[in-house]
Amino acid sequence: MKVLVIGSGGREHCLVWKISQSPKVKKIYCAMGNGGIRSLAECIDIKETDISGLKKFANKEKIDLTVVGPELPLTLGIVDEFESDGLRIFGASRESSKIEGSKSFAKDLMKKYKIPTAKYQTFTSKDKALIYIEEKGCPVVIKADGLAAGKGVIPSKNIDEAIAAIDLIMVKKAFGDAGNKIIVEEFLTGEEASFLVFTDGESVIPLPTSQDHKPIFDGDRGPNTGGMGAYSPAPIVTRNLHAQIMQEIIIPTIRAMAAEGRRYKGVLYAGLMIDDGRAQVLEFNARFGDPETQPLLMRMKSDIIPVLEATIEGNLSLQKAEWDDRASVCVVMSSKGYPGTYQKGFEITGLKEVSKIKNLEVFHAGTAIEGSKVVTDGGRVLGVTALGHGIKEAVEVAYSAVKKIHFNGVHYRYDIGNKALSIS
């Protein structure tokens, strides 16, 4: 079969890598891809937002399955457009992806169906938001309502930080139209975890637990990024907590979406805050996480294609997924200045050397090919991902590779996985 993967980041490289292992797959295309994806798929020069161009390509090449990586094409309705032409595509519909595309929609849904989440208020007026914060007090979390590449969530410890956050989102329009509306949310404490499931709108296959590291610096300091690393499993998610997440969050959300006429098919990602053995929802995403996908799919032993197909066809209950008992850790190597401004075009060295390390994959995110060189071409550049017997070994393997890879201005966190080690 022919498969088209949409996207150009580390998540998409990992998806292409996993899909390429399927005996059912003969050819993979990727739009637009990156320097690493080129070794596994034919990269095509069609932007992820060019829905009509992508559909035309899929029809012309008789693509058997399209897999959508990023959230933006989903919210633009790529699934609906492809399905209208009888094309099989894995991902949430336009109406379903609103669970990520609008945080106020997601919060209202959770409130209506009693899904545990933080208290909140929604505002389109800066002045009214500030009056509310002054009455309620800090700390609070300020969130842009729309898509902001994982960066539109700003914790504010005091009123000055809250004013600055609202100004950044609503006045300076740091995230564009995503900031026309904001959510002011109760500040939850505890430890974060990611919980992803495959679902066809009724049946569910949970992926292993994982944990992301959003802030740019060690110790969870500095501004939020798209993610600086991840590991799986997350020891914080005990068996009892896993049951609570499934029974009180995942299943009720899927049923709620169906009740609202938005049957959810694809991957549902719940970002959770865990405190005192219970989980509350911080946010939902309508797609695979990045960088959680990298350690998760490194642990997937079974063929991913039958699961993707069953999700589309509505018979996921007939499928099972097998997972490696080993742990996996992904360390993101980024450009100096990220998540702010950064330079591109620096040569990356050491990739050939680390390719010889067992139980290790380097997933490219922001890379390009210039002649015979691999160069930086984005904020998050590489996701160095390792398997190990336990988090400690996976961490050691990943960082042994990270230390051998070099480019001008390279930045990475040194503490990916430390939270897991403190628990286990």
DSSP 328-341: EEEEEEE-TTTTS-
In this prediction, residue 224 carries a pLDDT of 87
What's the domain count of the chain? 4
CA atoms of 375 and 323, how far apart (whole Å): 33
257, 267, 264: which is closest to 292 by C-alpha? 267
CATH number at residue 130: 3.30.1490.20
Say what the pLDDT of residue 398 is. Answer: 98
Q: Could you tell me the CATH number of the domain that includes residue 54?
A: 3.40.50.20
Asked if residue 115 is part of any domain, the answer here is no
For residue 353, give its domain range: 327-423
**313 with 334, same domain?**
no
Task: Locate 138 and state its tokens.
Answer: 């800090």
Amino acid at 212: D
How many CB atoms lie under 10 A from the CB of residue 111? Answer: 12
Assess if residue 361 is contained within a domain. Answer: yes
Chosen domain end from 289, 318, 347: 318
Q: Residue 150's pLDDT is what?
A: 74
pLDDT the model gives residue 275:
96
CA distances from 419 to 45, 213, 374, 391, 422 (A): 40, 10, 33, 10, 5
**Helix (H) and strand (E) counts in the chain:** 15, 22
End-to-end CA distance of the chain: 42
Closest C-alpha to 102, from 83, 117, 122:
122
Residue 98 within a domain: no
Q: Does 120 reside within a domain?
A: no
Q: What is the mean pLDDT of the chain?
A: 96
Task: Examine the domain organization and report whether 376 and 268 are in the same domain.
Answer: no
Residue 424's pLDDT is 59
Identify residue 256 by its one-letter amino acid code.
A
Residue 254 included in any domain? yes
- Strands, sheet with 266-275, edge to edge from the N-terminal-most edge strand: 204-206, 191-199, 266-275, 278-285
Read off the DSSP letter of residue 20.
Answer: T
Specify whether 212 is located in the same domain as 286.
yes
- What is the side-by-side order of every strand in the sheet holding 360-364? 211-212, 229-232, 327-334, 380-388, 360-364
Asked which of 318, 352, 380 is the last residue of a domain, the reply is 318
Q: Which residues of the chain register pLDDT less than 50? A: none
pTM: 0.95
- My answer on whether 203 and 295 are in the same domain is yes
Let me know if residue 351 belongs to a domain.
yes
| Residues 299, 211 within the same domain | yes
pLDDT score at 96: 98
